[in-house]
A and B are shown apart, each in its own frame.
Chain A
Amino acid sequence: MNLLTTLRLAFRALWRNKIRTFLTMLGIVFGIGAVIAMVAAGQGAQQSVKDVFDSLGTNVLSVESGGATSFGASGGAGSRASVTWKDFAALQSGEIPTIRWVAPLLTTKSQVASEQGNWNTSVTGTNAIWFQIRNWKTTQGDTFDQDTGEASAKVVVLGSTVATQLFPNANPVGQAIRIAGQPYEVLGVLESKGQGPMGDNDDIVVIPYKTYEQKLAKGLAKYVQGRVLVSMTDDEAADSTIAGITDLLREQHQLKATADDDFRVRNPAEFAKGQQDSTKRISWLLAIVAAVSLAVGGIGVMNIMLVSVIERTREIGIRMAVGATPKDVMTQFLVEALALSAVGGVLGLGVGYLGAYGMAHWIFKWKMFFPATTAAIAFGVSGGVGVLFGLYPAIRASQLDPITALRYES
């Protein structure tokens, strides 16, 4: 019997008992849904960690003003400025041997404009080192060099999104743009880094930090109006570097032994690891849900297939009488079990998508990850369940004696 006909027969048999079929599928649906959500969460966690590193750089610590609160809580508006450019210089001084590079990171939102366009974007003030920390290269022109980075030159490096917005069909390098009304010369355009946890990585313009302070920052120039990124020689050094920075800044700020830190040193890798741990816990939970649902679903499939074999004993007898071999009968019932769980798998894919979306959106607050491989997983796992639990009923059907089966009264 050819496969297409067998499939058609299977779907028709399932369609005849719509409600029963649907209820039987539920276990599979939720099982696959949980598997999909689990995979998506794992992928999401991986991607999110990668994004954190992409947007800050690897082996990087972040130092900013404010008391010790958890990562993510705003230290900006309410907290008192405490980290100064002197502190910055001290961090750069080489006193802490595990510090490789130091870059300021001052950011604000501002309107930028060219002859051809107008755009609201994030303006970053930093030095030349920052491009190295982020390992960010240009596709056109250049980033600013060491000296320009330390000068208050009115030069700018554009993120690719801004470049497209302001210069839809011209080479931006050498052109002039306005940032908050002030003219700047475009030095280069950065390569695209795509979407990150905070949105579009490429929606950015970068200017020297001194220029930033003069033209965009309000308040005293004594303090760093943002963060200081500290790049370490290796990530094993994180703990000792944090301790070193803490000691150094406490001394700089002349804090008493009993006083709390008035600055924060944070390790994005720690944050990423924390997210990974929480994903791991949820993944385990989902794995248990998936295993239980799939087992219950599989037993449901087996149960319904056994009922179906009994109900259709006479049909089996008739088919055998007209020439169906035991293998034909077995195939028919196996394909039916497979179809049942495969349809459950497809519905489960939908449920898993919603679950993954919900998790991404409400729990982890990261982007939705739903790689194409999840569809293959849904089919693979549900097919496996179908075969595993459909085999026994199918074998029972194939072993029926045609004479007994033909005489069977339902």
Chain B
Amino acid sequence: MALVDPGASLPSPRRADRPGALIEMRGIERTYYMGDNVVRALAGVDLTIERGASIAIMGQSGSGKSTMMNILGCLDQPTKGTYALDGRDVSRLSRAELASVRGRMIGFVFQSFNLLSRTTALENVEMPLLYQGLSSRVRRARAEAALERVGLHNRGDHTPNQLSGGQQQRVAIARALVCEAPIIMADEPTGNLDTRTSYEVMAILQGLVAQGITVVLVTHEPDIAAYARRVVTLRDGLVTEDRTQTPVIAGGSMAGDAAAHAAEQAAAAAAGAHP
């Protein structure tokens, strides 16, 4: 286990005082071979993401965003280049090691929610904890707390088909949060949502940034990228633009939703601190 940096297993890598960037990619390439066809989905990407960042990865369809996110999220490995996550080189790990890195470090939010059907919201949120070897009591308590953070504490016993799209995505966010992972990767999280519920979801994600969680957003919509502080644009597998902006603040439309309100406040505060 020479690859294991002892620091990587510290329970709270989110702490802003840890040295070094959270994510360090150097010369990342990802090539797909399909018969004679060779697709260079990523053609040499360097990317550093600091702890607590709010970053959107933009680009047109086919530009390599999803490939990028898969590698960032340790679902896939680069063909070339190095990727250090929280100081640990994760670009050459086994499938099992990658799985455990994902479980500890990364929460995913997908465009299509990817909740287990016929399974309650609470159980969906509990699911990642199964693989952390926690007792059912602890799992339940943490899942309930996570649902509370997304304002769905009273929907725990609902199955996905009893929930609206926005609510389902919030359950998915709760699931991403439940392991206390320092990074949330969201691939087109609002792609299946209408404007109003997109807004709710972005408010929650902004609230998480305010709490120190690093949120990596993948989107092709400029409206959604506008909620992030930093926007990295990909084209043909290369970073063509990397800029910092003042994010648009989501919130307001969800009067009565405590979590979203809190998220709005937090996001506002965070925005005030970094003009």
Interface residues of A (CB under 8 A from B): 1-2, 5, 16, 314-315, 317-328, 402-403, 406
Assembled-state Cα–Cα distance A317/B131 (Å) = 14
Min CB distance A97 to B, Å, is 79
Q: Are A16 and B118 in contact (CB under 8 A)?
A: yes
- The complex places the Cα of A396 from the Cα of B78 at a distance, in Å, of 24
| Central interface residue in A321, A322, A328, A406, by most chain B CB within 10 Å | A322
CB distance from A308 to the nearest CB of B (A): 14
Verify if B127 is at the interface (C-beta below 8 Å from A): yes
In contact, B130 and A318 (Cβ under 8 angstroms): no
Question: In the bound complex, how far is the Cα of B136 from the Cα of A322, in angstroms?
Answer: 17
Q: Are A318 and B75 in contact (CB under 8 A)?
A: no
**In the complex, which of the residues B99, B114, B115, B133 contacts A406, with contact meaning CB atoms closer than 8 Å?**
B114
Q: Which residues of A contact B102 (CB under 8 A)?
A: 320-323
Q: A318-B116, A322-B108, A323-B179 are in contact. List 8 more A-B contacts (CB 8 A).
A: A319-B127, A319-B131, A320-B75, A323-B99, A325-B131, A328-B99, A403-B75, A403-B76
User: Do A324 and B99 touch across chains, with their CB atoms under 8 A apart?
Assistant: yes
- List chain A residues, Cβ under 8 A from B51: none
User: What is the distance, in angstroms, from B140's C-beta to the closest C-beta of chain A?
Assistant: 12
Min CB gap A339→B, angstroms = 17
Nearest CB of chain A from residue B211's CB, rounded to whole Å = 20
Where the two chains meet, the residues of B that have a C-beta atom closer than 8 Å to any C-beta of A are: 70, 73, 75-76, 95-96, 99-100, 102-104, 107-108, 110, 114-116, 118, 127-128, 130-133, 136, 175, 179
Residue contacts A-B, CB under 8 angstroms, 14 given: A5-B136, A320-B75, A320-B102, A321-B73, A322-B103, A322-B107, A323-B104, A323-B128, A323-B132, A324-B103, A325-B95, A325-B131, A326-B95, A328-B131
Inter-chain CA distance A320–B127, complex, in Å, is 11
A325 vs B103: C-alpha distance when bound (angstroms): 9
Which residues of A have CB within 8 Å of B95? Answer: 325-326
B170 to nearest A CB, angstroms? 16
The 8 residue pairs across chains A and B that have the minimum distance between CB atoms? A323-B103, A322-B128, A325-B99, A325-B96, A323-B131, A1-B130, A324-B131, A318-B114
Q: Do A322 and B76 touch (CB < 8 A)?
A: no
Complex CA distance for A317 and B136, rounded to whole angstroms: 23
Verify B116–A406 contact, CB threshold 8 A. Answer: no
B108 touches A321 (CB 8 A): yes
User: How many angstroms from the CA of A328 to the CA of B116 in the assembled complex?
Assistant: 17
Q: Are B76 and A326 in contact (CB-based, < 8 A)?
A: no
| Whole-angstrom CA separation of A318 from B108 in the bound complex | 9
Interface contact A326-B131, CB-CB below 8 Å: no
Cα separation A320 to B100 with both chains bound (whole Å)? 9
Question: Taking the nearest CB of chain B, how far is it from the CB of A320, in angstroms?
Answer: 6
Please indicate which of the listed interface residues A319, A321, A323 has the most CB atoms of chain B within 10 Å of its own CB: A323
Q: Please indicate the chain A residues that have their CB under 8 angstroms from the CB of B96 in the complex.
A: 325-327
Instruction: Give CA–CA (A406, B115) in the complex, Å.
Output: 11
**Which residues of B sit under 8 angstroms from A328, Cβ to Cβ?**
99, 131
Complex-state Cα separation, A46 to B168, whole angstroms: 65
The reply to whether B110 and A322 form a contact with Cβ atoms under 8 Å apart is: no
Within 8 Å CB of A324, what residues of B? 99, 103, 130-131
Nearest Cβ on chain A to B72's Cβ, whole angstroms: 13
Find chain B residues with CB under 8 A from A5 CB: 130, 136
Asked, given contacts A5-B130, A319-B127, A403-B75, whether A325 binds B100 with beta carbons under 8 Å apart, the answer is yes
Contacts of A320 in B (CB 8 A): 75, 99, 102
User: What's the Cα separation between A324 and B129 when bound, in Å?
Assistant: 10
- CA gap between A40 and B132 in the complex, in Å: 46
Which residues does chain B contribute within 8 Å of A402, judged by CB atoms?
Answer: 75
Residue from B70, B107, B131, B132 whose CB has the most chain A CB atoms within 10 Å: B131
- For residue B120, give the distance in angstroms from its CB to the closest CB of chain A: 12
Closest Cβ neighbor of B73 among chain A residues:
A321
> Which residues of chain B are near A319, meaning CB under 8 Å?
127, 131
Q: Which residue of A lies closest to B114 (CB)?
A: A318
A323-B133 in contact (CB<8A): no
Minimal Cβ-Cβ distance residue in B for A5: B130
CA distance A46 to B129 in the complex (A): 54
CA distance A152 to B136 in the complex (A): 81
State in angstroms the CA–CA spacing of A404 and B116 once bound together.
Answer: 17
CB distance from A6 to the nearest CB of B (A): 8
Per a CB cutoff under 8 Å, which of A314, A325, A403 touches B114? A314
**A399 to B, closest residue via Cβ:** B95
Which residue on chain B has the smallest CB distance to residue A323? Answer: B103
Known contacts: A314-B114, A403-B70, A406-B110. The answer to whether A322 contacts B127 by CB under 8 A is: yes
Given contacts A314-B114, A402-B75, contact A323 B70 (CB under 8 A): no
Give the complex CA separation of A402 and B114 in angstroms.
Answer: 13
**Closest CB in chain A relative to B4 CB, distance in Å:** 16
**In the bound complex, how far is the Cα of B73 from the Cα of A321, in angstroms?**
9
In chain A, what residue has the closest Cβ to B118? A16
- With the chains together, A324 CA to B179 CA distance in Å? 13
Q: What CA separation (Å) do A1 and B96 show in the bound complex?
A: 14
Task: Pick the residue among A2, A16, A326 that contacts B133 (CB under 8 A).
Answer: A2
- Contact partner of B99 (CB less than 8 A), chosen from A16, A318, A326, A403, is A326
Chain A residues positioned under 8 Å from B73 (CB to CB): 321
In the complex, A406 Cα to B69 Cα: how many Å? 13
Chain B residues within an 8 Å CB radius of A1:
130-131, 133
The interface residues of chain B lying within 8 Å CB-to-CB of A315 are 116
* C-alpha gap A315/B108 in the complex (Å): 14
Q: Across the two chains, which residue of chain B brings its CB closest to A9? A: B130
Q: How far is the CA of A318 from the CA of B131 in the complex (A)?
A: 12
User: In this complex, what residue of A is CB-closest to B66?
Assistant: A403
Contacts of B70 in A (CB 8 A): 403
Q: Which of B75, B130, B132 contacts A321 (CB 8 A)?
A: B75
Residue in B closest to A320 when the chains form the complex, CB atoms: B99
